[in-house]
Structure 1
Amino acid sequence: MVQEDHKNPFKVQQVQKSNLDLEKRLTTNDKLLLTKLNGKKQLMLYATGVLYDSEEWEPLPSKSSADSRFKNVVELLRQQVFAIKYKIETQMLSPFMEYTCYLVFKLSEKCQGLHCPVKVRDLPRRRNKENQIIYFRSPASVNHHGAFWVPEQRKDGWMEVRIWKFNSKFDNNLGKDVIPMNLKLITCEGTMSGLIVCGLEFRPM
């Protein structure tokens, strides 16, 4: 919360204007989309420039897509592993909020795999947490005692699955103005061939 400075009555106005300018800049950025729901910030990142080959650390190639809210998507080939890396500016998010990150995706008609679980390693925090388990296809039998996340259908025709949770205040890299996101996704069997990623969506819980 911004406190009024009686010695400088224009300070609060300047801070508010700065926040508005930031949101305008972010909303028009070609890598992300910033929106609000019930006064809370939501953020969506393009898959382009965020998904990496985990061996060479080169961005995965993108292709155009007519049915994505973004112009380009990333379609994985025969990788068993890929990485997600990005530095989130804390000003992009509402403060003191728990956020969930969803990977927005589709499976191509040629995709025959991805029935098995996929491990998500949170590399900066891997000492404190075990690997998260996700699925890109809902498993035939669900163990309700298992700690894993399954995909859900979206209204826009895409699918989404939770891959990460964090707090916009306490996970901010020891007070710095960015939150490092560095995940590695590893399929337990086969490859990621046929996985089409539109982007990442960060929503407050």
Structure 2
Amino acid sequence: MQHALAAPFYDIRGIFNQTLLKLFSWSSKGKYYMLSATEAIWDSSNTELFNSKSSTESRFREVVELQSTDIFRIKWKILSERLLQNSEYMCYLVFKFSEKCSGLHCPVMVQDLNQRRNKQTRIVYFRTPQTWNMSGDDNQGPKEREDGWMEVNLWKFKTDPNYGCIPINLKLATYEGSMSGLVVCGLEFRPM
């Protein structure tokens, strides 16, 4: 006779293993890591700017839809052990547009707030711009992913084994209009 708790325990373990595979995986190029939008940008105290909603299309249970805002921040710390040491990584924002999204036709400025003295900003586009409107960087525009979501390259960094974590503190601001209707699945960190 089987124990009554055996079946549910097996299901929970399977779900846990699936979640780990989604969050922390190996690719042919090395380790990559994905962080959910609810961890990176969700601020439950500010429901006027963000709306957390369930999703069956995402690898995470919940995604974050931006409301009427022209600025949002991404703040998190990644444990260095989750990434390859002494490696360069790219940080991608994984997103879609809701049916009500009519903006984001203009460039978005990305500023690394951990490097305030530097004052360097990166320009990205959530919608493919006209070629005359782009500067020399070919990683500015969105790319469609195999899973049906879009991604845009926000940030480049190098891992350092001397530090226990990698702090992320990015500010995204539109040049014009609102980011209302931008649905964020999460961040993906991939080695270059």
TM-score interval for Structure 1 and Structure 2 normalised by the shorter chain: 0.7 to 0.9
Q: State the alpha-carbon separation in 1 of the partners of residues 40 and 17 from structure 2.
A: 16
Give how far 1:178 is off.
0.7
Q: Write out aligned runs for 1:80-119 (5 A).
A: 80-119=70-109
Find the residue that maps to 1:103 and give its secondary structure: strand
Give how far 1:38 is off.
2.8
Find the residue that maps to 1:48 and give its secondary structure: helix
Match of 1:46 in 2: 36
The structure showing larger relative contact order (alpha-carbon pairs under 8 Å, at least 6 residues apart) is: 2
Q: State the alpha-carbon separation in 1 of the partners of residues 166 and 36 from structure 2.
A: 17
Runs of 5+ in structure 2 lacking a partner? 1-15
Cα distance change of structure 1 residues 143 and 111 upon mapping to structure 2, 3 Å threshold: closer
Cα distance change of structure 1 residues 141 and 49 upon mapping to structure 2, 3 Å threshold: same
TM-score normalised by structure 2 residue count:
0.81
How well do the aligned residues superpose, as a CA RMSD in angstroms? Answer: 2.6
Whichever residue aligns with residue 81 of structure 1, its letter is: I
Find the residue that maps to 1:62 and give its secondary structure: strand
Q: State the alpha-carbon separation in 2 of the partners of residues 135 and 39 from structure 1.
A: 26
Give how far 1:66 is off.
1.2
Match of 1:197 in 2: 184
Give how far 1:60 is off.
4.0
Give how far 1:26 is off.
10
Runs of 5+ in structure 1 lacking a partner? 1-24
Q: How many residues align?
A: 174
Cα distance change of structure 1 residues 176 and 196 upon mapping to structure 2, 3 Å threshold: same
Q: Is the 8 A contact 2:109 2:122 kept in 1?
A: yes
Whichever residue aligns with residue 35 of structure 1, its letter is: S
Q: State the alpha-carbon separation in 1 of the partners of residues 151 and 38 from structure 2.
A: 17
Match of 2:130 in 1: 140
Q: Give the structure with the larger helix fraction.
A: 2
1:71 matched to 2:61: yes
Match of 2:174 in 1: 187
Cα distance change of structure 1 residues 137 and 59 upon mapping to structure 2, 3 Å threshold: closer
TM-score normalised by structure 1 residue count:
0.76
1:10-29 CA-partner distances (Å, limit 9, x unpaired) = xxxxxxxxxxxxxxx99856
